[in-house]
Structure formats: structure tokens, C-alpha cells
Amino acid sequence: MKCVRIETVNKESIKSLQFPKEELLSSIAKRKERCNKLKRAMALGNLEQEKVKIIFIDNEGFKRVETTIWGVTDKNVILKESTLIPLGRIVSVA
């Protein structure tokens, strides 16, 4: 198993990142699971101010951010100050 370096970024720097268009998850079931996890995380953030760790891939590699999710659309995850992470670039939510 290959070890992957994950860079921790702050949410303010996400606006300057560039994201490829390709979807990372090939399975429809995995995409649904990711969406459900994001929606649960959004509810926790709105009700309890709980932060989550989101791992995603931009055009340079793996990134991690700890933040509150404000919204989830069919294309993006919305963070504070209208910061967007394309849904298809998110690897995991915890």
C-alpha cells in the first residue's frame, strides 16, 4: 500500500486552488454514500457547530481541511465565505 502525503490547508486558501473536472469516485453507491456523509456533516455543523475533516484532491494532490459545512449542492460543498469544493473532488469526510 502506497503512503500518500496529505497537505493541511486552511479554508481561506481553498478559493485559490484549481480543481480538475473528473469525478474521483467511479461507483454510484460510493457517490451516494459521500453525499449522505456530507449532508450529515452539514447538519452537525449547523446544529452543533461541529467541524469535520474533508480530504479532497486539487490539481496538485491530496489536501485536508477542518471546517464547518454550510451547504451541499449537486455539484459543490459550500464552506464559510462562499468557498466551494467541487463534490466530485472529495475523497472522504470524517
The Cα 38–Cα 54 span in angstroms is: 9
Q: Are 55 and 90 in contact (CB under 8 A)?
A: yes
What φ, ψ does residue 66 adopt, rounded to 5°? -110, 120
The Cα 24–Cα 41 span in angstroms is: 20
pTM exceeding the 0.85 threshold for the entire prediction: yes
Q: Are 84 and 17 in contact (CB under 8 A)?
A: no
| Domains of the chain, residue spans | 7-93
The pLDDT assigned to 87 comes to 97
Q: What is the pLDDT along the chain (94 residues), one digit of tens a residue?
A: 577 899 999 999 999 999 999 999 999 999 999 999 999 999 988 788 889 999 999 999 999 999 999 999 999 999 988 999 999 999 999 9
The Cα 94–Cα 90 span in angstroms is: 11
Cell of 39: 449532508
